Amino acid sequence: MKKLHIFIYTLTLLLIAGCERKVDITFSYEGNKLVVNSLIQADSSIYVRVTKSVPVNVYDESAFRELDNVAVKIQDDSGNNIPVSCQQIFGKNYFVSSQKATTGKRYTISASAAGLSPVSGTDTLPAPPQIFGAAAQRTFSRITFGLKDYPMAENYYRIRLFKSDSNGTIQSGLLFRLDPAFNNNVVDIISASPANSLIMNDKRFDGRELTFVLQAQDPLTPTSYLMVEVTTLTYDAYQYLKSVAAQQQNVGDIVSEPVRVYSNILDGYGIVAGINVKRLVFKVD
Amino acid sequence: MSLAGKLLTCLLFICMPLQVLGWDWQTKVSVSVKDQPIRAVVELLEKNYGIRFSYSRDLVNLSRKITLTVHQQRLKTLLEDLFGPDRIRYTRVGDLIVLQPPSQATRTISGYVQDGITGEKLPGATIWSPSLQQGTVTNQFGFFSFTTTADTSAVIISYIGYQPKWQQLSSQNKFLSVSLESTTNLEEVVVSAAESHKLQNQTQMSKVNINSADVRSQPKLLGEADLLRTLQAIPGVSGGMDGISGIHVRGGSPDQNLILLDGSPIFNFSHFFGVFSLLNADLVKSTDLYKGAFPARFGGRLSSVIDITLKDGDMKQFHGDVSIGLIAAKFDLEGPIIKDKTSFIVSARRSYPDLLYNTVVSLKDGNNNSSLLAYFYDVNLKVNHIFSPKDRIFFSYYKGEDKLSVQESEDKSAVVDTTRLNTEFNRFQMGWGNVVTALRWNHIYGPKLFSNLTANYSQYAFNTEVGYKYALPGSNEMGDQYGRYYSRMETGGLKLDFDYRPEPTHSMRFGAAVNTHYFRPSVSTFVDKGSNVTPLDTAANGPKNTAVELLLYAEDDWQLLPSLYANIGLHASAFMVSGRLYHSLQPRMGLRYMLPNNWAVKAAYTHMNQYIHLLSNNGTALPTDIWVPSTDKVGPMTSRQVALGIGKTSNKQAWEFSLEGYYKTMHNMIEYTEPTGLLTADVLRWDRNVSIGKGWSYGGELMITRKKGKLTGWLGYTLAWSTRQFPDINNGHIFPYKYDHRHDIELLLNYAITKNWEFSAAWRFTSGSPLTLPVASYEGVETGSPWDPSPNGNTPVDKYSSRYNYRMENSHRLDVGLTWFKQKKTWSRSWNFSVFNVYNQQNPFYYFVKRDDVEKQRYLAKLVILPLLPSITYSVKF
């Protein structure tokens, strides 16, 4: 999208010599609020991260620090409380459930901390994606895989592409886009630059079995392994991930209105939403 | 009236200044007579109060004897009692009261008013009977019809910028062709107006007329005089970001403006993203802006009507104009095809910085494999032919477009890397523009009835094309792709309008129209010549719709009482689309009441309907925005507006003063609940992604205009509020909308220094518009587990709460211009030097939260455009 915006304003700015100035303003701040983030993966422990919001002008991301004396509760739709423990992973504190999340159940995550309003969020888990037949040829840039969409329901997907080893250990993410030749959407061609994820709904292919063709930004190297990751998303997860991506794209965009990121947390910020990931690892032939 | 009486009346009218002296209609008088002729009372009034009377003793009989005693009675009341029984008519002319015999019969004169040199018909010219204090104005085609008393001996015909003409009427005069001589020159901008041009003599309120001189005399931006910027300097009208990008009238959206080019609607009025009007200003004869109190003949939009009349072409001799500025060059040529029968005018304009850019790049690089075309152009053609004094046809054609084309081809001299994609050819093209064409036929059925039949067609299209050829030599992978995205809106129709002037107290218009609208928004196609694979269809083309609109209207400008006037009208319309029928009855009413000292108080009520919506999801109107018809979920927009104001033109017509207040409600307004991007992807279901709400605009507008003398111009001030309410936005609360500017001040001056030099200046102040800024930041999440790959990390998220929770800074700017003009025998030339934003005020164009990784700060940044911009323009007229 930005590509088109740039085209639109290039001439204007070239001729009229626009410039940027810092504005001395005090951002208003809604006050400290609890932030709960958890994308609940089926057949996996539930990881919950609880942090605190900061004013807009705070630059340092480490400001999103964990709070002391936070209480986190996970409850399923039968009213059972699932035990959680606080663990430090990669230097960050996570509340991890002792049980794995199960497809078909609804989970509610609540958090509270001294001096802040208690918060909660709830969601279900989606069915796993039905994907198959991933393949790619060396020196080509195209990757194909099949997807069978669940009929009679609104489904949401996220697609990501990684370089990996034969065991599926990820080495790095790859930039890609839907190959325009297999996409038929000129809007995407004009506007979509390669990205590390593609988030979509099934409105254009509801219930169909189809072949996706991705175009990697760079040609694929021989003897390497790739991994296609397809994640089914609940409506809340789809809205959240889509709006986060849109907000990131929108930064500094001079013609668009700001994008609001979706949240289903009551009295706080963040997201509690279900996802279901499936990965296909394959060798570049 | 005898010849002596006529001469006396004329002489007195011409010689006496029209100014307020020692008495008015409210002056209290005391008179006592017993069994005396009326003449005795008249003489007492002259003697005791200095109230002078003018009448012919042969025609006005004042011999009836009366007995009368009044004490401290209003002069007007006394005269009504005195002259009423004998139906003697009395009128104030200057400091005289002119007495006339009872009216016996009426007569109707009609005709055209035109420029004496070019034959150009003059819309809005005044035909005024000073003795009756009644008159009329010419319509859009310069035609007038004036029914007056049979003994009316003369009328004054006048038009802004022309010498008023005293036209004697003989008993044979029924059809007049009146030629006026232009008085506009650089030594003194003479703007004359007759009585009915005075604000207090017009029932119409919330209307501003802009003549071509107003536009041309403004300081220029990059060498271009511009109608759009002049319109934005009217109180109640504002522009978008930093004064560009569209027109907002009384808190309305840009799509709520009905812009008519010689009667045909235009969907996008600007070039260059709103910086310039789509039209060469030299072609515009006159522009009427209606901000409210809409006459019944207009409909289809909520907030304003901008009625632009273009020149018809010189019927007598050839003229031309060539000019070159910093950004564009243009020419126009007009002249007779058959003298006094058929004329034409043709013009063309093109911006040219891209030509300079390509030349410079070509010279610099020698072997240039890329090209850039970025320009706008417009062409106009108008032909008119007089078949007979009663029949005339006009054909007009306009095409204007903005184009951007970037093309790159492979540099064969370079060493190709066989392991990577190699682009052989890459083309991107984008363009948008209007096509407007119309055929009109004027016919005069008789002195009281005039008609205009119009067949017109208008199209707006946005088009984007991409072509991409690439190869991956290492694997023989090749692609040859072509894609196109376009949106198109078309309107074609027939309209029949009648002007009927049955008597002096009534001026009627009525008519009917049928229009067909064709909507084809957001169409996307793609082919890959090198592939036989069926593509995954992720494109959602927009809905293809055809709609039919019917309308009927009637309005009457009616003098109800000597001091009370009304304009009463009704606009009825029906809109059929996709099997649905929408209809509306839209009453329109204007009232004017004359107060002492020639002040007029005016009031108006209007109801408007708009059946089409503009889908716009951006901070400003863009060419990518698309038009769609109402649906079963989103009905037509409606508005109701009341306005109240006072107005007066000074007796010497040097000053005009108007003060108006208005209150407008709007229903079925739409707003995207969440941004969807520049190109709306899901146009098929657009009505599910918008919230439907209400809007309110209210405020006051003051305009003081200096119309005569070496120094002319106006001062405008607007105090306004514009709010909206949507159930899904801001928790359903009312919030200030993006067009909510609390204060706007505009000061425009034009000073004729000498015969050859003219100076102009424009200063504008606008208080800050609402702005949406985040209120917190927090950590995001990308994966279900911290062990999963997360290329973006847990990216920070900005939290936005209410829309428009801040305000931008105030903006202000001074522009100046200096024109040197030299008139030769058969041609003239001029240089214009303009400076835009003289004191280089850094007005905000857009705000955003910037993450500065060098300074390790997050702060609010503003983008500033339009700094101090000098420009120069050279013009030659022949």
Smallest Cα–Cα separation from B110: which of B137, B92, B88?
B137
Per the domain annotation, does B203 fall within a domain? no
Q: Which of B155, B186, B217 is the last residue of a domain?
A: B186
The values of phi and psi at residue B358, to 5°, are -65, -35
Judged against a pLDDT cut of 50, whether residue B55 lies above it is answered with yes
Q: Are residues B143 and B35 in the same domain?
A: no
Q: Are residues B676 and B717 in the same domain?
A: yes
Per-residue pLDDT band for A211 (boundaries 50, 70, 90) equals confident
**pLDDT (mean) for B270-296:** 85
Q: Do A191 and B679 touch (CB under 8 A)?
A: yes
Q: Which residue has the tokens 């509610």?
A: A108
Q: Do B848 and A251 touch (CB under 8 A)?
A: yes
Q: Do A260 and B800 touch (CB under 8 A)?
A: yes
For domain A34-125, the question of CATH label 2.60.40 is answered with yes
Judged against a pLDDT cut of 60, whether residue A235 lies above it is answered with yes
The ipTM is 0.91
Note the pLDDT tens digit of each residue in B314-339: 888 898 999 888 788 889 999 999 98
Q: Do A256 and B677 touch (CB under 8 A)?
A: yes
Cβ–Cβ < 8 Å for B471, B480: no
**A15: Cβ contacts below 8 Å, ≥ 6 apart:** B222, B327, B353
Q: Do B779 and A45 touch (CB under 8 A)?
A: no
The pLDDT value given to residue B343: 93
Cβ–Cβ < 8 Å for B293, B606: yes
Note the pLDDT tens digit of each residue in B530-543: 665 555 555 556 67
- CB-CB neighbors (< 8 A) of B773 in chain A: 27-28, 56, 258
Judged against a pLDDT cut of 50, whether residue B404 lies above it is answered with yes
List the single residue in B789, B845, B846 with the smallest CB-CB distance to A173.
B789
Cβ–Cβ < 8 Å for B498, B511: yes
Cβ–Cβ < 8 Å for A139, B472: yes
Q: Do B781 and A186 touch (CB under 8 A)?
A: no
Q: How far apart are the first and last CA of chain A?
A: 34
The values of phi and psi at residue A173, to 5°, are -85, 155
Judged against a pLDDT cut of 50, whether residue B43 lies above it is answered with yes
Q: State how far the Cα of B789 lies from the Cα of A281, in Å rounded to an integer.
A: 14
Note the pLDDT tens digit of each residue in A128-187: 999 998 888 766 677 888 999 999 888 999 999 998 888 878 888 888 877 665 555 555
Residue B415 distance to chain A (closest CA, Å): 18
Provide the domain count of chain B. Answer: 3
Note the pLDDT tens digit of each residue in B493-502: 999 999 998 8
- CB-CB neighbors (< 8 A) of A275 in chain B: 784
Residue B473 distance to chain A (closest CA, Å): 9
Nearest C-alpha in A relative to B865: A18
Q: Are residues B181 and B279 in the same domain?
A: no
Q: State how far the Cα of B237 lies from the Cα of B234, in Å rounded to an integer.
A: 6
Smallest Cα–Cα separation from B589: which of B258, B197, B294?
B294
The pLDDT value given to residue B18: 36
Q: Are residues B390 and B412 in the same domain?
A: yes
Per the domain annotation, does B5 fall within a domain? no
Pairing between β-strand B811-823 and β-strand B757-766 as defined by DSSP bridges: antiparallel
- CB-CB neighbors (< 8 A) of A258 in chain B: 675, 772-774, 798, 800
What would the DSSP string read from start to end of B660-677? EEEEEEEEEEEEESS---
Judged against a pLDDT cut of 50, whether residue B224 lies above it is answered with yes
Pairing between β-strand B284-290 and β-strand B207-211 as defined by DSSP bridges: antiparallel
Residue A28 distance to chain B (closest CA, Å): 6
- CB-CB neighbors (< 8 A) of A51 in chain B: 778-779
Residue B206 distance to chain A (closest CA, Å): 32
Cβ–Cβ < 8 Å for B653, A235: no
HEC sequence for B353-383: HHHHHHHHHHHHHCCCCEEEEEEEEEEEEEE
Per the domain annotation, does B665 fall within a domain? yes
* Helix/strand/coil percent split, chain A, to 5: 15, 45, 40
Q: Are residues B868 and B728 in the same domain?
A: yes
| CB-side neighbour CA atoms (13 Å) of B805 | 19
In chain B, the percentage of residues whose pLDDT exceeds 90 is 32
Note the pLDDT tens digit of each residue in B301-315: 999 999 999 988 888
Q: Do A20 and B864 touch (CB under 8 A)?
A: yes
Smallest Cα–Cα separation from B226: which of B269, B289, B265?
B269
Whether chain B has a CB inside 8 Å of the CB on A19: the answer is yes
Residue B533 distance to chain A (closest CA, Å): 7
Look up the pTM and report it.
0.81
List the single residue in B619, B799, B866 with the smallest CB-CB distance to A16.
B866
Residue A190 distance to chain B (closest CA, Å): 7
SS3 for B730? helix
Pairing between β-strand B711-725 and β-strand B690-706 as defined by DSSP bridges: antiparallel
Residue B300 or residue B173, greater confidence:
B300
The sign one gets for the Cα dihedral B28, B34, B35, B39 is: negative
* Range(s) of the domain holding residue B256: 227-773+791-877
**B561: Cβ contacts below 8 Å, ≥ 6 apart:** none
Alpha helices (runs of H) in chain A, residue ranges in sequence order: 2-16, 186-191, 235-250
Judged against a pLDDT cut of 60, whether residue A48 lies above it is answered with yes
What would the DSSP string read from start to end of B390-415? TEEEEEEEEEEEEEEEEEEE--TTSP
What is the four-CA torsion angle of B706, B708, B712, B717, rounded to 10 degrees? 10
Q: Are residues B676 and B727 in the same domain?
A: yes
Q: Which of B186, B216, B236 is the last residue of a domain?
A: B186
Q: Do B849 and A56 touch (CB under 8 A)?
A: yes
Residue B355 distance to chain A (closest CA, Å): 13
Q: Are residues B175 and B314 in the same domain?
A: no
Q: What angle do CA B58, B60, B65 make, to 5 degrees?
A: 110
Whether chain B has a CB inside 8 Å of the CB on A250: the answer is yes
Tokens of B544: 């293809």
Which CATH number belongs to the domain containing residue B47 in this structure? 3.55.50.30
For domain A130-257+273-284, the question of CATH label 2.60.40.10 is answered with yes
Q: Are residues B285 and B147 in the same domain?
A: no
Q: Are residues B117 and B244 in the same domain?
A: no
- DSSP letter assigned to residue B287: E
Q: Are residues B156 and B279 in the same domain?
A: no
Q: Are residues B297 and B323 in the same domain?
A: yes
| E-state strands within B504-636 | 506-528, 545-561, 564-577, 580-595, 599-610, 612-615, 626-629
Which CATH number belongs to the domain containing residue B167 in this structure? 2.60.40.1120
**pLDDT averaged over chain A?**
83
List the single residue in A64, A138, A139 with the smallest CB-CB distance to B779.
A64
The pLDDT value given to residue A101: 93
**pLDDT (mean) for B3-22:** 43
Residue window 164-223, chain A: list those with CB within 8 Å of chain B: 170, 172-173, 178, 180-191, 196, 200, 203-205, 210-213, 218-219
**pLDDT averaged over chain B?**
83
The pLDDT value given to residue B575: 95
